[in-house]
Amino acid sequence: MAVTIKDVAKKAGVSPSTVSRVLSNHPRISVETSRKVKEIMEQLGYHPNIMAKSLVSKTTNSICIMLPKSAEELFSNFFFMELIRGIVTQASRLGYDVLISSGANEKEEVEAVSRLLNGRRVDGVILLYSRKDDPVIDFLYENGHHFVLIGRSERYPDTLSVDNDNVQASYDAAKHLISLGHERIGFVSGPPDLVFSKDRLKGFMDALNDAGLEMRPEWIVEGEFLQDSGYRAMSFFMNLPDRPTAIVLIDDVVSFGVLRSLHELKYKVPEDLCLVSFNNIPLSELSTPPLSSIDIGIYNLGYTASQLLIQSIENGNDKNYQKRQIIPHRLMIRESSMHSISKK
Amino acid sequence: MAVTIKDVAKKAGVSPSTVSRVLSNHPRISVETSRKVKEIMEQLGYHPNIMAKSLVSKTTNSICIMLPKSAEELFSNFFFMELIRGIVTQASRLGYDVLISSGANEKEEVEAVSRLLNGRRVDGVILLYSRKDDPVIDFLYENGHHFVLIGRSERYPDTLSVDNDNVQASYDAAKHLISLGHERIGFVSGPPDLVFSKDRLKGFMDALNDAGLEMRPEWIVEGEFLQDSGYRAMSFFMNLPDRPTAIVLIDDVVSFGVLRSLHELKYKVPEDLCLVSFNNIPLSELSTPPLSSIDIGIYNLGYTASQLLIQSIENGNDKNYQKRQIIPHRLMIRESSMHSISKK
DNA sequence: CTGAAAGCGCTAACAC
DNA sequence: GTGTTAGCGCTTTCAG
């Protein structure tokens, strides 16, 4: 049997409540008693029972991360791990534990979140992704739970979220290519139901528009693709009569696939095609050639999300802090985009 | 205020204990009552309070993952994320929640684990790494907690663990190169305090010995290294009078670094140097050239660890199931090693 | 098959 | 400053 607050109390010759007060650093407790109690606790190897504490205090000091379904996740393991590190680091700094959960489909996800939140096991949730029309978000929103989104929700714009300015980031990426003289620029997107895919496409289009550049539908490849399908897509892409001289890609991992395909098709990067992508994963500077990429501060996204959620849990949802936090991005220029086009 | 078991009981006209029994599918409960109670629960939106249940049942139905310190983690985000996915999937299948924790140093790690385990918040722990002389393992072992290691402990060989046969895997990798006619083979290791680094080095040496091949100390590069230091190491390595024609590398990410360095140094893979590494991360087939790599079944490692831990929690530690589970590995041969040497 | 009662380990008024 | 008391929401004997 584990040692409880009563055991400590008895041995210290005080009441359980005194021990409890020592535990929570209650102001009105004599230094002497406190010292003594702490000594006994040490001596007995006392550890407060977290569950019991939670039960009465009605707060768990823990938050939950919802992992995306594996299909989406494969998209970028690096991304999620980095996010998680940020979240866990900040959470534990603030005295919170982090629970990690997932579901095979949206129904299971809602069930998991509901069980955890309604069952009072966690105080709030961080969603690592922003899908369009996500029933999990509906559930969270309708039941007034504490939650924050990595990304943003179109349906509930007033929800707490941590995001990049993806429109601007993508604008910057395109602008970079335009400044190198590229006039035919393509875009390789990700899963269309992810909000950032849309945002990045928009920023891309804005940049082209502002520069008065043409934008052909066949220069825009939608949907996730790696390996095989990537090969076919690139093959098609590079055989277009007026093929682009540069592309913006939704994600570094996609870039790796494209790089591989281009290599097999005997095209040279950046000479035949310039590449700029997103996320700046550690491997992006180790590819051949190194990838230009927009660093979106993944760790920072997680870190900030964690902070925002805990703030909301502790101070209530309706404070007037920033509902939507934007993490700055930064274009890392590397070899994959270092090829300028001289204007004809 | 949330709806409790009492509310359900009152509305259903039964006692709280009956409701509790319905909840746990107690055998001696009439089908009729059960149906009715369940209906009321649905109607009221009842969710059992997990903390209260834990408090009395003295079991939390949750396990904890200890994340390695960030320095080690950077080594391979892919690896850990995949492991976590395996763990979480199997845990939730078995009705367990997964908590994720970490510490900035070993002392903090012990504190975290101690707080969670002694504070009865989790039933057991999975360690994602196997360091030599790890105080966390000492703590877990000495206090009789449930835990499983990914990898293995040299100090406590009888501890529950899930591992690859790293010696054999590395033997296989070297053997593959030897079968291609390579006679001068190098080895690039990882952090020397990680147990699998040692195991893989051993397997490598065994293979060379068995084949009667020479093994020079300068062909073995110890320690983690990427980018800059990798460049220097490779530069040194390739300028040796009798430089190796092939190397085995501890990890795909290291291979990426080496690939990059070799490219900058104008060496060709596999013509000038053949590469075989470990882990088979998704990106390894997207590099140029695609990497030969030993698939160690990362997801499976996590999955099995989860299962083993929960088994141990539920059936007690001293059952006679396999204490040490070995996940099979498989060499994936790709272009980076497809160059044979004709014997002189 | 079901109810009453005790208690898991802790906190939080309310006394003194 | 510290003790007393009453639960938090649930499970679990023990009766019946």
What the block records as the tokens of B14 is 């039964």
pLDDT value, residue B129? 81
Q: Which residues, including other chains, have CB under 8 Å from residue B13's CB and lie 6 or more apart?
A: none
Upstream peptide bond of A270 is cis (omega within 30 degrees of 0) = yes
Residue B293 pLDDT > 90 = yes
Same domain as A132, residue A159: yes
- The CA distance from A305 to A300, in Å, is 8
Write out the residue range of the structural domain in which residue B155 sits: 62-164+298-328
Helix (H, G, I), strand (E, B) or coil at B130: coil
Query: Which segment of B7-21, B60-74, B150-164 scores lowest on mean pLDDT?
Result: B60-74
Which of A59, A97, A303 is the best substitution to test chain B (most B C-beta atoms within 10 A)? A97
Contact (CB<8Å) B99/A100: yes
Q: Residue A27 falls within a domain, yes or no? A: no
Q: Which of the nucleotides lies closest to A18 (Cα–C1')?
A: D2
Which residues in chain B are contacts of A98 at CB distance < 8 A?
99-101
Whether CB of A21 is under 7 Å from strand D: the answer is yes
Q: Residue A24 falls within a domain, yes or no? A: no
pLDDT value, residue B165? 97
For chain A, what is the mean pLDDT? 90
Residue A1 pLDDT > 60 = yes
| pLDDT average, residue stretch B75-84 | 84
Q: How many CB pairs under 8 A join A and B?
A: 162
| pLDDT average, residue stretch A147-170 | 94
- The CA distance from A338 to B137, in Å, is 50
* Protein residue closest to D11, using CA and C1': B56
- The CA distance from A122 to A63, in Å, is 5
Q: Report, in ranges, which bases of strand D sit under 7 Å from a protein C-beta.
A: 1-5, 7-13
Nearest by CB: B55 against A55, A119, A285: A55
Residue B67 pLDDT > 80 = yes
Same domain as B289, residue B171: yes
CA–C1' A53–C5 (A)? 24
Same domain as A171, residue A242: yes
Whether CB of A59 is under 7 Å from strand C: the answer is no
Distance from CA of A287 to the nearest CA of B (A): 6
Contact (CB<8Å) B48/A99: no
- The CA distance from B236 to A336, in Å, is 27
pLDDT-above-70 percentage for chain B: 94
Q: Which residues, including other chains, have CB under 8 Å from residue B117's CB and lie 6 or more apart?
A: B64, B124, B125, B140, B143, B145
Q: Report, in ranges, which bases of strand C sit under 7 Å from a protein C-beta.
A: 1-5, 7-13
Residue B123 pLDDT > 90 = yes
pLDDT value, residue A317? 61
Tell me the residue type at A145.
Answer: H
| pLDDT average, residue stretch B77-98 | 93
Residue B227 pLDDT > 90 = no
Q: Which residues, including other chains, have CB under 8 Å from residue A285's CB and lie 6 or more apart?
A: A291, A332, A334, B227, B260
pLDDT value, residue A193? 80
- The CA distance from A273 to A47, in Å, is 61
How many domains, chain B? 2
pLDDT value, residue B226? 60
| pLDDT average, residue stretch B164-186 | 97
Nearest by CB: A85 against B54, B73, B263: B73
Same domain as B302, residue B223: no
CA–C1' B56–C9 (A)? 9
Report pLDDT digits (tens) over A278-315.
Answer: 999 988 999 999 999 999 999 999 999 999 999 999 98
Same domain as A118, residue A263: no
Contact (CB<8Å) B288/A73: no
At what angle are helices A252-264 and A227-238 packed, to 10 degrees? Answer: 60
pLDDT value, residue A237? 85
Query: Which segment of A65-79, A262-276, B146-160, B323-337 scores lowest on mean pLDDT?
Result: A65-79
Same domain as A284, residue A315: no
Backbone angles phi, psi at B311, to 5 degrees: -60, -45
Residue B229 pLDDT > 70 = no
Residue of higher predicted confidence among A133 and A83: A83
Q: What is the H or E stretch that residue A114 is in?
A: helix A106-118
Distance from CA of A51 to the nearest CA of B (A): 5
Same domain as B242, residue B98: no
Distance from CA of B176 to the nearest CA of A (A): 25
Instruction: Quickly state the pLDDT bin for A27 (edges 50, 70, 90).
Output: confident
Same domain as B291, residue B308: no
Question: Maximum Cα–Cα distance for chain A, whole Å?
Answer: 91
CB environment B158-184: b (16+ within 10 A), e (fewer): ebbbbbbbbbbbbbbbbbbbbebebbb
Q: For residue A255, how far is the Cα from the chain centroid?
A: 20
Contact (CB<8Å) A286/B257: yes
CA–C1' B56–C7 (A)? 9
pLDDT value, residue B26? 87
| pLDDT average, residue stretch A152-180 | 95
pLDDT-above-90 percentage for chain A: 63
What the block records as the tokens of A315 is 């101070």
Report pLDDT digits (tens) over A239-270.
Answer: 999 999 999 999 998 899 899 999 999 999 99
Contact (CB<8Å) B77/A73: no
Which of A3, A46, A50 is the best substitution to test chain B (most B C-beta atoms within 10 A)? A50
Which of A's residues 80-109 have CB atoms within 7 A of nucleic strand D?
Answer: none
Contact (CB<8Å) A227/B285: yes
Residue B326 pLDDT > 60 = yes
Same domain as A158, residue A306: yes
* Protein residue closest to C8, using CA and C1': B56
At what angle are helices B135-142 and B106-118 packed, to 10 degrees? Answer: 20
Contact (CB<8Å) A77/B74: no
Nearest CA in chain B to A260: B286
Same domain as A192, residue A134: no
Backbone angles phi, psi at A2, to 5 degrees: -70, 155
Residue A320 pLDDT > 70 = no
Cβ atoms A123, A62 nearer than 8 A: yes
Report pLDDT digits (tens) over A201-228.
Answer: 999 999 999 999 999 998 998 766 565 6
Helix (H, G, I), strand (E, B) or coil at A161: strand
Q: Residue B225 falls within a domain, yes or no? A: yes
Q: Residue A4 falls within a domain, yes or no? A: no
Which residues in chain B are contacts of A290 at CB distance < 8 A?
260
Same domain as B287, residue B171: yes
| pLDDT average, residue stretch B266-294 | 94
Whether CB of B28 is under 7 Å from strand C: the answer is yes
CA–C1' A307–C8 (A)? 33
* Protein residue closest to C2, using CA and C1': B18
Q: Give the closest residue to B288 by CA, choosing from A218, A301, A267, A184.
A: A267
| pLDDT average, residue stretch A268-281 | 95
The alpha carbon dihedral of B252, B254, B260, B265 has a sign of negative
- The CA distance from B141 to A252, in Å, is 42
Q: Give the closest residue to B308 by CA, choosing from B143, B140, B124, B66.
A: B124
DSSP codes, A171-201: HHHHHHHHHTT--SEEEE---TTBHHHHHHH
Q: Which residues, including other chains, have CB under 8 Å from residue A208's CB and lie 6 or more apart?
A: A174, A178, A185, A214, A215
| pLDDT average, residue stretch B82-106 | 93
Instruction: Quickly state the pLDDT bin for B231 (edges 50, 70, 90).
Output: confident
| pLDDT average, residue stretch B265-269 | 93
Residue B343 pLDDT > 70 = no
For chain B, what is the mean pLDDT? 90
Q: How far apart are the first and last CA of chain A?
A: 83
Distance from CA of B76 to the nearest CA of A (A): 9
Residue B75 pLDDT > 70 = no
Nearest by CB: A88 against B45, B54, B67: B67
Query: Which segment of A186-195, B117-126, B322-331 scores lowest on mean pLDDT?
Result: A186-195
Q: Residue B223 falls within a domain, yes or no? A: yes
Contact (CB<8Å) B287/A260: yes
Query: Which segment of A160-174, A219-233, B304-318 scores lowest on mean pLDDT?
Result: A219-233
DSSP codes, B269-324: TTTT-EEEEES--GGGGTSSSPPEEEE--HHHHHHHHHHHHHHHHHH-TTSSS-SE
Report pLDDT digits (tens) over A85-103.
Answer: 999 999 999 999 999 999 8
Report pLDDT digits (tens) over A40-83.
Answer: 999 999 999 999 999 999 999 999 999 887 655 555 778 899 99
Q: Residue A85 falls within a domain, yes or no? A: yes
What the block records as the tokens of B132 is 């030599």
Cβ atoms A176, A292 nearer than 8 A: yes
- The CA distance from A115 to B217, in Å, is 57
- The CA distance from B113 to B100, in Å, is 10
Same domain as A291, residue A176: yes
CA–C1' A14–D3 (A)? 8
User: Which CATH number fits the domain that encloses residue A139?
Assistant: 3.40.50.2300
Q: Residue B30 falls within a domain, yes or no? A: no
Tell me the residue type at B204.
Answer: F
CB atoms within 10 A of CB B56: 10
- The CA distance from B245 to A267, in Å, is 28
Residue of higher predicted confidence among A163 and B26: A163
- The CA distance from A83 to B100, in Å, is 13
